[in-house]
Structure 1
Amino acid sequence: MKVQFVYNGAENLGIECLSSFLKSNGHVTALLFDPAIFSGDQLINNKWLSRICSIDDLIVKRIADEKPDIIAFSCFTGNYRWCLSIAEKIKRVSQIPIIFGGVHVTAVPSEVLSNACVDYIVIGEGEYALLELVQYLENGKEKKLSEISNLGYKQDGKLYLNNVRAYIKDLDSLPFPDKELFYNKVSLFAEHYYIMTSRGCPFNCTYCSNNLYHSTYASEKNQLRRRSPDNVIDELKIAKLMWHPKLIKFADDVFSSSKEWLQKFIPLYKSEINIPFFCSVHPNTMTPEIAKLLKEGGCWFVTMGVQSGSERIRKEVFHRFGTNEQIVKAIACIKDAGMTISVDNIFGAPSETEVDLKSSLELYCRTKPDRILTFWLTYYPGTEIIKIALDKNELSQEDINNANKGFIGFTHESGSVNKDKKKMYQKYAVLFQLRSLVKNNQVYCFIANFLSYMPFKDILVKLVILLNGFKNNDVMVFNAIKYICAKKKIP
C-alpha cells in the first residue's frame, strides 16, 4: 500500500523512521511537505506572509490527483490546527483513510479522534501500530482493530482507544531512517545530518514532552534506550557516502547521559566518520572527562538547558534537580575543552518573579555562555506543569481546553506567558542576549542600561541572536537563513 505522509516546517526524524519501517515491510511511502516559510519557529514569523505563501490547496490537489491508499499526519501542538485544516479539506474531495500520530495525539487522544476528518490515531511509538493498521486496511486478515496496540479508532459512532504496548527495546533492530523522504524535497537538509542515538530521556522535566511519555509508559523501568555504537556508526557511514554532510546533529535529549557509551563511540566516530558534530547535554551529566571526549570526537558546539538561574524555579516548578554551582562547573568544563556553549532559558514559569529573573542574569554574567536562547514557556497538553500552574491559579480550565485543541502559540514567539508580564520578559530577553554578545562588564552595563528602555525589544532580541550567530560562526543560524531562501512552493 502507498502511505502518504503530510507535514510542515522542517525535517522530521519520526516520519523518516516510520517510512523506513513501512518500506522494510514491503509498502510504499511518499511525502507532501509544506516548508512553512513564514510561520512556526522560523527567524521571520509573519501571519500575513504565511498566508500569501500557503500551499495548502496545492497539497490537497496533489492528494486528489495521486490517490494514495492512506494519509498520515505527524502532529505536535503547534502544527495541530494546520493538520486538521488540511485533513478537513482532503475529506471534502476524498474518503481516503486519515491517520493522526505524534506527541499531541499521545497527549489528548480522544480530543483528536473526535474530529470527523480523523479516522485513526496512533499513540506513542508508532512503528508497529502503523504497520499493523496498514496491513489491516490492506487485507483485514492479520489482526482485528481491537488487537492493534497503540491504536485509536471509531466503530458504530463510538471511540475506542487500545492499550499501549511496551517500548521498543532493541533499537538496533529498526531500519535506518528514510532520509530521502525529506532530502528529495529540500536538499539543504542533507548538509546537517540529523540523527538520534537513543530514545527517551533519563530526566523528567515538567514542561517537556518526555514528561508525557514517562506517564504514558509509566510501567517501563528504563525510559532511556540507546543504540549500540556500531549501529550508529553504520548509519553514519551510509550518510557520509550518500549525502556528504558538513555537520552531524545528534538530536538526543541528553547526548552526554553515559560516559561508558561515549568511551566506546567516540574512538569509532573519530576513525570512521570524523565530521564536526553538535549535541545537547545536561548540567548534571557534564564532567571534564565527558567534555574532553566530546571535543576529541569533533564536537564544536554544545547546547545545555539551564532554563532558569533560580534554583527555586528549577526545583519546585521544572523539577530540574541541581544547583547553580553544578551549572557553573558544567559550563566551565565545556569552555575549558574548547567548545562553544549555548544555553536555553525559559520565560514565564508559574510564580516566577523579577527576583528569579535577576538570579538568572547573575548566573549568566558569572558563566558567560557564548549564546543564550530565550523561549516562552508553553503549556503543552499532558505535561505536569499544567497541574502546577493550575494549583498556582495561573491557568484556567478554558486555557487547558484551548491547548488541547491546539490553540497555542509557538515557543519562540508567544507561548503561554502572562501578557501583563510580557514587557518584563522582553527586557530580560534583551539583557540575556546582550550578555552573551558583550563580555566586558563595563561595556555591557552601559549598553544594557541604554537598550533596556528602548521599544521594539522583540526585534532587538532577534538582531542580537543573528549577531551572536555571526560572531560564533554558528552554522545553524547561517543554515536557517539559507533554508528560508531555498524553500520552494512544491510540496
Structure 2
Amino acid sequence: MFRIYLVRKSLSAKEDRWMAQNSEKIVFIVFYDNIGYGVRLLLSVAKAAGCEPHLILFKRETGYAPLLKRGKEGPDGYQFFYNGLLRDGDYAVDRIKDEEVEILLDRIAAISPSLICLSAMSFAYEFCKEIFPNIKKRFAHIPILSGGWGPTLEPQKFLEFSDYVAVLEGEKTVQYICEALCYGRDFDDAPNLVYNKNHQLVRNPVSPPLKESDLDALPFPDFGEENKWLITNYKCLSGKEFVNHKVYDIFSSRGCPMSCSYCMASKYSNLYKSYSGDRCAKLRYRSIDVVFRELKVAIRNGATFIKFKDDVFPFHPKWLKEFLERYPKEIGLPFFCYLNPIFHKPDCIRQLKAVGLSVTMAGIQSGSQEIRERYFSRKESKEQIVEFVRLLKDLDIQYAYHLIYRNPFERESHLKESLEFVSQLPYSGVFIFMLVLFPGLPLKKRIEDERPEPIAVLTSEWYALLHSLSLQGPFYRTLAKMIYRLNIFRSHPKLMSGFFLVPLMKEFWTRFLGRYVRGTQSYFTQKSRCNQRQKNSNIIGKNPYTKIPEANHGDSQGVSPMISNC
C-alpha cells in the first residue's frame, strides 16, 4: 500500500547502507516567491524518502512601478493599485537578466542534481519557456519535472520544456520519484505524472487526494537555511543571508469553503474529478496537535509572528473551540489569518482577537451587490461587510480592503454603486487587483461565451483611484467626492496618484522613525544591561568585563523544522 510517511520507513541494514551511499540530489526551482510553502513541504518529503533536496528561489516577490508608467498587461505583467499607487507585479517589475540565468545554471551545476523540479503558477509559463531550454541544453542528461497550478491546468504547455508534469497534489509523486532515484529505478509509472512517450501523451493514474490523517502524517515544511539559495540582483544568496525565522507561514487546512468564480482554490475538487473521476473534499483540516507541534518548532527557531495562510481560517466549531482554548497557553503569539463574515461571526472574531489575532484582510472584491453575487459568486451582503469591518475597527485589528477592477461585466453604474458603498466604510489601506483569468475558471468561460464589451480602461482606473481616495481618510474622501462631482481627471486618472504621495511619505517616515526609536531603545537597553553587569561584577569582586552567565531557558540551538511528528 503506497502512503505518505513522516520519517523514512524502517529499512534493513543492507538497504540503509545502500541509501547512505546513493542519496540522490534534487533541486526545486521557484520563481518570484519569497516563501514557496508547498515546495518547502516537498523538500521535507524528499528528504524523508532518502534524497538530498535543494531549493533555489529565483527572484523575490515584488511589486512596484514608476508613477505614470503603464506596464505590460496580462498574467506575467500583473498590475494592481496599493493605496492609489500603481504597482506592476513580479516579472514586469524585476525582469530576469541573462546574467542571473547564468548564475542559476552555475548553481544547478554546483549542486549536480539527478532531477530538476520546477514549481510554477500559470504566469510563469511565458518566461519559463525562455529559460528552461537553456537549462535543458546545458543539463540534457537531467530530467525536468514541472508541477504546481500552471502545469496542473495546462500540462501540455509546460511539457514544451519539461520531460514530466506532475498534476494536483505532489507529495506522493515526489516520494515515489525520490525512492526510485535512490534505488536506481525508473519512475515513469509514478502517480499523477503526465509526459510524452513515442509521440503520445501519457497520463498516469492519479492517486487519491490526501486524507486528513495523511495531512497530519506529513513532515513539517523545511524553512531551514541549509541548501537554500536566493538569486536576485545579480547575486546568489545562501540561506543564512535571507531566511527570516521571525515570521512563520503555516496552513492548518487545505481547500476553501467559497466558490468564487475568479479563483482556482475552490475548484480543486472539480480538478480532481476531471483527472481521475474522484472528487476531493472541499475542506480538509490538520489536527490542532500537529499544527501546534509545528508552531512550537517555529518558536524554538525564533518565530515571533504567525501567518495562517488558509484561504479561510478554519471555522469548524470543534476545531475552533480547541484552538481558542489552547492557543494562548501553548503558542501565545500574535497572528494573521483570513476571515470572512459568512463563516466568522462577531463573537468568533472577538474570541480570536482575545487570543492573538492582530491582522486580517477584508475581501470586498466589489461594492456592487450584483457584481459580487451574479458574477463573482460571493454571497456576503453589504450589511454583513459593513458590520464586519466596523467590528475589526472597534477591536483594533489591522486590515486592508481587497477589490477587483477591470471586470468586463462591470458597467459604470456598477462602479458608481461600488464607490458609494466604500464611502460608508471605515478608513484603511486598500489593494485593488486587476482581474486575471486563468484556464478552467468559471468566470473565464462565461466571458468567452457572453463576450461582454468592457468599459474603457481609463474609466476603470478613474474609479479604482476614487475608491482608493475614499478609503484614505476624511480629507481624501471629501476630495474623491469633489473629483467625482466635477468629473475631472477622467482622461488622465494616473495624475490622481499624486494625491497619494503624502500618505505614502507619512507611512515611510512612521516606519523609519519606528525603527529608529526601537533601535535607540535597544541601544539604551543594552547599555543598561552592560552597566548592570559591571555593577554585579564589581560586587562579586571579578573583572568588570567578565560576562555574567545568563539563565538557560531551553534549547538555544533551535530545532530543525523537519523533526518527526512522532
1:178 alignment partner, one of 209, 222, 226: 222
Preserved contact between residue 102 and residue 124 of structure 1 (Cα < 8 Å): yes
SS at match of 1:50: coil
Residue aligning to 1:102: 148
Structure with the largest fraction of helix:
1
Classify 1:465/1:274 alpha carbon distance in 2 versus 1 (closer, same or farther; 3 Å). farther
Between 263-272 and 124-133, report the one with greater CA deviation.
263-272
One-letter code aligned to 1:130: V
The whole-number CA distance in structure 2 between the counterparts of 1:305 and 1:47 is 25
SS of residue in 2 equivalent to 1:72: strand
Aligned match of 2:561? none
Q: Give the C-alpha shift of residue 88 in structure 1.
A: 1.0
Name which of structure 1's ranges 204-213 and 46-55 shifts more when overlaid on structure 2: 46-55
1:331 is displaced (CA, Å) by: 1.8
Instruction: Identify if the C-alpha distance between structure 1 residues 339 and 36 changes in structure 2 by more than 3 Å, giving closer, same or farther.
Output: closer
Distance verdict in 2 for CA 1:427–1:455, change over 3 Å: closer
8 Å contact from structure 1 (residues 7, 34) kept in 2: yes
- Preserved contact between residue 165 and residue 193 of structure 2 (Cα < 8 Å): yes
Pair 1:434 & 2:479 matched? no
* Residue aligning to 2:531: none
For residues 307-322 of structure 1, what are the structure 2 equivalents within 5 Å? Answer: 307-322=365-380
Verify the 8 A CA contact 2:50 2:179 in the aligned structure 1.
no
Post-superposition offset of 1:189: 3.3
> What displacement does 1:266 show?
2.6
Q: 1:287 to 1:391 in 2, by over 3 A?
A: same
- Higher mean C-alpha displacement, 295-304 vs 212-221: 212-221
Gaps of 5+ in 1: 396-417, 475-491
State how 1:61-460 maps to structure 2 within 5 Å: 61-95=106-140, 96-113=142-159, 115=160, 117-139=161-183, 141=185, 145-146=188-189, 148-169=190-211, 170=213, 171-180=215-224, 184=239, 187=242, 189-218=244-273, 219-220=278-279, 222-242=281-301, 244-394=302-452, 421-439=456-474, 442=478, 445-446=481-482, 453=489, 455-457=493-495, 459-460=497-498
- The answer as to 2:40 corresponding to 1:2 is no
**Relative to 1, partners in 2 of residues 1:422 and 1:123: Cα closer, same or farther, differing over 3 Å?**
same
- Aligned equivalents of 1:459, 1:139: Cα separation in 2: 60
Please identify, of 191-200 and 452-461, the stretch whose mean Cα deviation from structure 2 is larger.
Answer: 452-461
Query: Aligned partners of 1:228, 1:173: CA distance in 2, in Å?
Result: 10
C-alpha separation between the residues in 2 aligned to 1:18 and 1:135? 13
Partner Cα separation in structure 2 for residue 301 and residue 444 of structure 1? 27
Do the aligned residues in 2 keep the contact of 1:200 with 1:210 (CA within 8 Å)? yes
Task: Return the letter of the residue paired with 2:300.
Answer: L
Percent of aligned pairs with the same amino acid:
30
**1:32 aligned onto 2:56:** yes
Q: Quick one: which amino acid aligns to residue 445 of structure 1?
A: K
Aligned residues of 1:70 and 1:97 also touching (Cα < 8 A)? yes
User: Structure 1 pair 49/282, CA: closer, same or farther in 2 (3 Å)?
Assistant: closer
Contact 2:266-2:282 at 8 Å conserved across structures: no
Partner-residue secondary structure (3-state), 1:281: coil
Query: Which residue identity lines up with residue 188 of structure 2 in the other structure?
Result: L
CA contact (8 A) 1:36 1:50 kept: no
Shift of 1:471: 9.8
Residue 313 of structure 1 aligns to which amino acid in structure 2?
I
Please give the alpha-carbon distance, in whole angstroms, between the structure 1 residues aligned to 2:510 and 2:416: 26
TM-score, scaled relative to structure 2 = 0.72
CA distance in 2, matches of 1:237, 1:305: 30
Tell me how many residue pairs correspond in the alignment.
Answer: 446
Q: Separation in 1 of the partners of 2:264 and 2:432?
A: 18
Cα distance in 2, alignment partners of residues 461 and 320 from structure 1: 32
CA distance in 2, matches of 1:35, 1:145: 31
> Judging changes above 3 Å, is the alpha-carbon distance between structure 1 residues 467 and 202 closer, same or farther for their aligned structure 2 residues?
farther
Compared CA separation, residues 366 and 54, structure 1 to 2 (3 A): farther
CA contact 1:431–1:452 (8 Å) conserved in 2? no
Q: Which amino acid aligns with 2:158?
A: V
Residue type matched to 1:7 in 2? V
Partners of 1:92 and 1:177 in 2: CA distance: 32
Deviation of residue 261 (structure 1)?
2.0
Whether the 8 Å CA contact 2:288–2:323 is kept in 1: the answer is yes
Partner residue in 2 for 1:19:
43
CA 1:238–1:85 in structure 2 vs 1: closer, same or farther (change >3 Å)? Answer: same
- Look up the SS of the partner of 2:363 in the other structure: strand
Greater Rg by CA: 2
Q: In the aligned structure 2, how far is the partner of 1:344 from the partner of 1:473?
A: 23
- Distance, in Å, in 2 between the alignment partners of 1:373 and 1:304 is 10
State the one-letter code of the partner of 2:27: Q
Report if the CA contact (8 A) 2:224-2:239 is conserved. Answer: yes
Structure 1 residue aligned with 2:534 = none
- Aligned AA for 2:208? A
- Contact 1:368–1:436 at 8 Å: present in 2 too? yes
1:456 alignment partner AA? K
Letter of the 1:15 counterpart: V
Contact 1:37/1:53 (8 A) holds in 2 = no
Preserved contact between residue 425 and residue 471 of structure 2 (Cα < 8 Å) = no
Tell me how large the CA RMSD over aligned residues is. Answer: 3.0
Q: Contact conserved, 1:350 with 1:388, CA < 8 A, in 2?
A: no
Question: Post-superposition shift, 1:303?
Answer: 0.6
What amino acid is aligned across from residue 363 of structure 2 in structure 1? Answer: G
> CA shift at 1:367, angstroms?
2.0
**Aligned amino acid, residue 159 of structure 1:** L
User: What are the superposed Cα offsets for residues 184-231 of structure 1, whole Å, 9 maximum, x if unpaired?
Assistant: 265353332111111110112111121441311243362111111121
